[in-house]
Structure 1
């Protein structure tokens, strides 16, 4: 379980987030929703440890960065919005690097990756360098690297950008399987129609604050219209704040 408690943070002398509190339970997919500049990326950076909160606590299964930095980071799998690969490493070497970083035997990591590589039609491209990959293929490499660590918390930032319809369907199936295994999933997205179908709950950010959170039924009740879409609710909430 991910717990964010009364977190305030941002960049040096530039506070972005104000008193954020939310949770992602085991086996739950929570959508992190917000306009550009709402604080979604900053929230993710605080959780994965690229930024340090000014105040508040972040824990995964009751482990914090301050208590056990290595154990905390090994619990996280991260799929960024923009693929980031090492140009001098092949696909195989990327998998091996991830294995070493997470202290996973290389053989085990490659075995875990095999079904994913076949799913994403990358199994015959292990010796390819990133220069040979399309943007969508690079994103599939990032997805594979995140899944082979078997994370307790999976953070997915705009997961469907650059993916073809078949890959979107494949990734959706993978996320559902991770939920069934008990993985906590935090997904940041602008695609509200997809989020409405996939997510169990939502955390809506506006100007660095949580302006609403809960299931779609909870939000509809607060909104006062039981047939409102997530997009309808979001538009009203962000106008009112």
Structure 2
């Protein structure tokens, strides 16, 4: 009795051409050793004994150079740098200045008779700042030479320069140094800036004039040399 060869079922024939996903893909390139090793790990992995940490210390803050040196920045509020006029110092510099200041106060403690009344201090500007002394956005230095103003002038666009610097700039180009706007050769006298500078100078002179003068005299006697402090105007009041 002859046996017929087994016939393939239609289902088996159809499975040969069925797409079974990416898992059935074959790779013909050699895989990396690190990839092969990582696949075999299971469970918790031991942390490395040594870690490399990268740190960055920013000891120099991003301060706007133009605003710090001249009090004006052409970018205004859109400037990406800090508009600050303060000085940034290291810790050892602050400690050294503090020690020097304390030593100076200790040496001058016996001569510290120059204190004024609160009313006089407010009038002379030694007290708390008043509303008149608020910052009115006027620069204190020329934007070109980075020095104190000499015969300040103001352009049509509202920027302040020294007269000499403005004329020298106009010889090269008629545009403003700050905003590149055409100046048209018009440089007006900076009346507001001159008035502000004169007011500060007058207050400083009045402050120095109002303070009493201290004179030191030495006298020799049987007990030795003795130093005497004399305050002008104090003896008359007594």
Assess same fold via TM > 0.5: no
Query: Normalised by the size of structure 1, how large is the TM-score?
Result: 0.19
Question: Which structure is higher in strand share?
Answer: 1
Structure of larger gyration radius: 2
